[in-house]
Structure 1
Amino acid sequence: MTQPDQREPGTWLLDRIDAREEALTSQIEQTQAQIEELTGRLRELDQDLDHLRITRKTLLVLASEPDPAPPPPTPAIPDHPAYQQILTILADAGQPTRARDPCLALDLPLARKNIENTRAKLKRLVGLGILVEIEPGLFAQPRP
């Protein structure tokens, strides 16, 4: 019987080569896994850098553009309380209305004078940009 240390020299060398090959294979697999992990991280960092460059470019373009014109001022409603009542009636109705509808809501007699006065107020509100006239005699609040 031969002792473990006294194996044939060829077998002993082949065993050492096998052990070394297994160790190198393991190191290669670990290194390959690290490379894949680092490649993924590099891809993420590259994408983050691209986003920063795009943001910088966008900000520089926006900074070089002139400021947009300020929005037009909100028109002032005339002081007479009838205008506020008419606007409230139109808001409550939620649909286009004719001059006689506010007269009815305000309990005004449907006399020609009252209807024409209400129509004149509605037309003034249209002129101020507070209301719109969808078709002749049909008034509504503008849509946002």
Structure 2
Amino acid sequence: MTGSDLRPSDLRPSDPGSWLLDRIDAREHALTCQIEQTQAEINTLTARLGELSEQVEHLRISRKTLLSLAEEEPAPAEPLPTVPDHPAYQQILTVFGEIGGSLRARELALAMDLPLTRNDIQNLRAKLKRLASRGILVETEPGLFTQPCP
């Protein structure tokens, strides 16, 4: 017999049961590979789904927080400090506004053209302390006063 004399039936193994089992094994192997690939895709999609769900949950929490903050009553604004009615306090604040820096009572007395007597400087210092206690001025160090930063 030569190669041209072979018939398709001659290519099959002599045992038809072995041939069928081999075909079943090959098909099972192919399906198992497809299962593994599909499971890998499912795992990837499951991980992506988890990430997306987490992002959505963060947005929901943010929305809930913002809505609850918007519903809260705003804290009452602190009342603005009141300047005493005496004109000397207005003069003091005018000088601080013009100079824009820190001053001691003696320097302020000079800027206001007041006498430099001990009693006048002490009275001016008391006024500066009163303005500092009301938050209108700040005593940055003992005896040195300035306007608070906005």
Q: Which amino acid aligns with 2:20?
A: L
The total of aligned residue pairs comes to 135
Q: Which amino acid aligns with 2:22?
A: D
Gaps (5+ residues) in structure 2? 84-88
Distance 1:75 1:29, change over 3 A: farther
Distance 1:18 1:43, change over 3 A: same
Q: Which residue of 1 aligns with 2:86?
A: none
Q: Verify: 1:84 aligned to 2:107, yes or no.
A: no
Q: Which amino acid aligns with 1:15?
A: D
**Match for 1:131 among 123, 127, 137?**
137
**Match for 2:56 among 38, 49, 54?**
49
**What CA distance in whole angstroms lies between the structure 1 residues aligned with 2:135 and 2:143?**
16
Post-superposition offset of 1:134: 6.8
What's the CA shift string for 1:113-141, capped at 9, x where partnerless?
Answer: 66346425523532552223478745455
Give the aligned CA root-mean-square deviation in angstroms: 3.8
**What CA distance in whole angstroms lies between the structure 2 residues aligned with 1:5 and 1:103?**
122
**TM-score computed with the length of structure 1 as normaliser:** 0.63
Distance 1:23 1:137, change over 3 A: same
> Share of identical aligned residues, percent?
54
Answer with 5-14 or 67-76: which moved more: 67-76
Distance 1:43 1:32, change over 3 A: same
Q: Which residue of 1 aligns with 2:35?
A: 28
**What CA distance in whole angstroms lies between the structure 1 residues aligned with 2:11 and 2:148?**
100
**What CA distance in whole angstroms lies between the structure 2 residues aligned with 1:23 and 1:72?**
80
Gaps (5+ residues) in structure 1? 91-96
Aligned-partner SS, 2:76? coil
CA contact (8 A) 2:137 2:146 kept: yes
**What CA distance in whole angstroms lies between the structure 1 residues aligned with 2:18 and 2:50?**
47
What's the CA shift string for 1:61-89, capped at 9, x where partnerless?
Answer: 3243222213434767x653423246x23
Q: Which residue of 2 aligns with 1:94?
A: none
What's the CA shift string for 1:44-70, capped at 9, x where partnerless?
Answer: 232123223323432343243222213
CA contact (8 A) 2:81 2:134 kept: no
| Structure number, greater radius of gyration | 2
Q: Verify: 1:65 aligned to 2:77, yes or no.
A: no
